[in-house]
Amino acid sequence: MLEPLTHLARGPLLKLSLLVMVAGLFRAAVLQVWELGWAYGRAGDQVMSWPEIAKRTLAWLLPWRYWGSEGRPVYNIISFVFHIGIITIPLFLAGHVAIWEQELGIKWWTLSPRWADALTVLTVLAIVGLLIGRGVNTGSRALSKAQDWVIPVLCMLPLLSGFLVAHPRFSPIDPQVVYLVHLLSAELLLILVPFTKLVHIVLFWSNRTSSEFGWRFAPGAGERVRATLGKEGQGV
């Protein structure tokens, strides 16, 4: 029973989940660029300060802005650590790169086992920190939707199970079951990417641009709106 399921998870399901994620992200990115272009075309003011937008976008990606910020500095630093881990581990873990090499014949630099272990533990701790941070803050607690709780937990599963796959002596469960959990939890996460806030993977780079374009209004739009609503000629 386990073996056919593992074969399915390692084979077709992995391909399907990667396809869903990549296609979904590609769609989101293309739509974003297309919509930005469309908005730019209709904007009355098309003079953009691209260096300023790039500067703002970059500033938000760098960790030192968290120092002395009024926001939630500890929460944000934990989030930064989490992002480093969740991006680095899937991409540069030796076991994952071996799969790419096997399937597509390409390989790249990999994390040493020690660094992979340390980063995994750190990332799991960061996720716990984020969940606690979300829970103890009145504002985020009130705002949070189901996915805000589920997604961090879902991120933990492939990390924990992956650690146990690499170190079966720590596993209380059959290593084959752990491997299956690792595959299925990762695949579920990949499939959810385009349908949840995880889509920010391809939208994070354009959000400052999007906000800036948001203020670039279309001339004459106000009158056209009122005409559509049958208010043409009506006063203030």
Report if residue 128 touches another protein, rule: CB under 8 A: no
Q: Can residue 87 be called a binding residue for another protein (CB under 8 A)?
A: no
Task: With CB under 8 A as the rule, give the number of residues binding another protein.
Answer: 64
Binding segment for another protein (CB under 8 A), chosen from 103-111, 120-128, 173-181, 224-232, is 224-232
By CB under 8 A, residue 207 contacts another protein: yes
- CB contact at 8 A, 53 and 212: yes
Q: What is the maximum span of the chain, computed from C-alpha positions, in angstroms?
A: 79
For 52, half-sphere exposure in the C-beta direction (CA atoms, 13 angstrom radius) is 5
Q: Contacting another protein (CB under 8 A), which of 2, 19, 30, 31?
A: 31
CA distance 98 to 100: 5
**Which is closer to another protein, CB of 47 or CB of 106?**
47
Burial letters 96-108, b for 16+ CB under 10 A, else e? bbeeeeeeeeeee
Residue 88 vs 207, nearer CB to another protein: 207
Residue 5 or 133 with smaller CB distance to another protein: 133
| 43 lies in the binding site for another protein (CB under 8 A) | yes
In this structure, the chain runs to a length of: 236
Q: Find the binder of another protein among 6, 25, 29, 72 (CB under 8 A).
A: 72
Could you say whether residue 112 binds another protein (CB under 8 A)?
no
Nearest 5 degrees, angle CA 180-CA 115-CA 160?
A: 25
226 binds another protein (CB under 8 A): yes
**Residue 143, interface with another protein (CB under 8 A)?**
yes
At 234, is the secondary structure helix, strand, or coil? coil
Binder among 7, 11, 22, 60 for another protein (CB under 8 A): 60
Q: Sign of the CA dihedral 193, 198, 203, 205?
A: negative
Quote the tokens at residue 72.
Answer: 């939630």
Backbone angles phi, psi at 70, to 5 degrees: -80, -15
User: Cα separation of 103 and 160, whole Å?
Assistant: 25
* Residue closer to another protein, measured from CB, 152 or 162: 152
Binding site residues, another protein, CB under 8 A: 28, 31-32, 35-36, 38-39, 42-47, 56-57, 60, 69-72, 75-76, 79, 134, 137-145, 148, 195, 197, 199-200, 203-204, 206-208, 210-211, 213-226, 228-229, 231, 235-236
